[in-house]
Amino acid sequence: MAQKLFLLPGDGIGTEIMAEVEKIIAWLNSQGETEFEIDTGLAGGAAYDAHGVAVTEEDVQKALAADAVIFGAVGGPKWDSVPYEHRPEAALLRLRKELAVFANLRPAICYPALADASALKRELIEGLDILIVRELTGGVYFGEPKEITDLGNGQKRAIDTQVYETYEIDRIARVAFDLARTRGNKVHSADKKNVMKSGVLWDEVVRGVAKDYPDVTFEHILADNCAMQLVRNPRQFDVIVTDNLFGDILSDTAAMLTGSLGMLPSASLGAPDPATGKRKAFYEPVHGSAPDIAGKGIANPIAMIASFAMALRYSFGMVTLADRLENAIAAVLADGLRTGDIAQDNRRTVGTEEMGAAILKRL
């Protein structure tokens, strides 16, 4: 049966890098390796220009009906003054909420060819393969009360509230342990249970889940120590599971160990459907729409292509094909091909299409 992909290229370089993914999909379909049915919608500024909203109801429904959503990037200076509720980023928030994708997966992989682009020494970074599993729909970004109160004496009070319930921690922990089994079999859970009640509950629940995975090594780590260890000795980690706030910071830290923003994919997964076992899923590069280089044909398509590889792996169980695509990326880098963002001195740089074509050729 054909599997439904819903593509939302978005704005800026989003459309340029998505075009390279579309070529890969077309080739895979033509070879009979996959039977993807493609539909494409508008998101962000592109949707605002066409329909006056960041994403239409019709496209939200298509995202909900798809087996996976592949998202480019949204935003840009052109839409700086659109009404707040229609700003391009509203499309992302709306889709994440509708799809209820609570588990954000952010790999940090060091390609051997790029080990010298890291801020860390090659010895510390070579072979690095970390997966940060961040809780995405709860915690301090969403908890109530969330407000600024005028105290009337020239003072104000700001409140954000960290709220987690058992089920939210339980389900994200299970995602992390399940994934660890497919990788290095080790989970670190990062919280601040020494100073936060939500950290105490986080640890209690994750420890409970760990009992169901006796084959997976489990370690607790304080989030601040985790940040330090990521920079001191990152290869000690396999999977790190953490809350929304710490995950935001730790995933950016881990990501930048590897060099460039243009290399980093992500996946966001929802709960398994009770009937089919399939999770709603949303795949996007970590970087934004890069208005400064949009339209020039020089964006690095690797984060977008690697996000599609994550879709093959996590939504469709096409593990071998995902491996092949990731190996093709590594091989092209080993061949010396570089887009401008990852170029080292005295190397010839290639554009978006040339990089995409080289990866497809390797595949």
Name the CA radius of gyration of the chain, rounded.
21
DSSP 235: G
Task: Write out the binding residues for ligand ATP, residues 253-292 only, by CB under 6 A.
Answer: 261-262, 287-290, 292
Q: In sequence order, what are the residues at sequence separation of 6 or more whose Cβ sits closer than 8 angstroms to the Cβ of residue 270?
A: 99, 100, 101, 102, 103, 279, 280, 281
Quick check: 341 binds ligand ATP (CB under 6 A)? yes
Task: Write out the binding residues for ligand ATP, residues 6-45 only, by CB under 6 A.
Answer: 13
Q: Is 78 annotated as a binding residue?
A: yes
Q: Is 293 annotated as a binding residue?
A: yes
Would you say 126 and 288 are in contact if contact means Cβ atoms under 8 Å apart?
no
Q: Is 243 annotated as a binding residue?
A: no
Q: Is 235 annotated as a binding residue?
A: no
Catalytic residue among 59, 192, 238, 243: 192
Catalytic residue among 67, 248, 283, 314: 248
Report in angstroms how near the CB of residue 43 gets to ligand ATP at its nearest: 13
Quick check: 300 binds ligand ATP (CB under 6 A)? yes
Q: How far apart are CA 27 and CA 49, in angstroms?
A: 32
Angle at 245 between CA 288 and CA 8, to 5 degrees: 30
Q: Is 252 annotated as a binding residue?
A: yes
Report in angstroms how near the CB of residue 11 gets to ligand ATP at its nearest: 9
Quick check: 66 binds ligand ATP (CB under 6 A)? no
Report in angstroms how near the CB of residue 14 gets to ligand ATP at its nearest: 10
Report in angstroms how near the CB of residue 23 gets to ligand ATP at its nearest: 16
191 is catalytic: no
Q: In sequence order, what are the residues at sequence separation of 6 or more whose Cβ sits closer than 8 angstroms to the Cβ of residue 274?
A: none
Q: In sequence order, what are the residues at sequence separation of 6 or more whose Cβ sits closer than 8 angstroms to the Cβ of residue 26?
A: none
The DSSP element (H or E) to which 104 belongs, if any, is strand 103-109
Quick check: 104 binds ligand ATP (CB under 6 A)? no
Quick check: 54 binds ligand ATP (CB under 6 A)? no
SS3 231: helix
Which stretches of 238-308 are assigned E, i.e. beta strand?
239-242, 265-272, 279-285
Quick check: 251 binds ligand ATP (CB under 6 A)? no
Quick check: 67 binds ligand ATP (CB under 6 A)? no
Q: How far apart are CA 362 and CA 54, in angstroms?
A: 37
141 is catalytic: yes
192 is catalytic: yes
Interface with ligand ATP (CB under 6 A): 13, 75, 261-262, 287-290, 292-293, 299-300, 303, 339, 341
Active site amino acids: 141, 192, 224, 248, 252
Binding residues for substrate: 96, 106, 134, 224
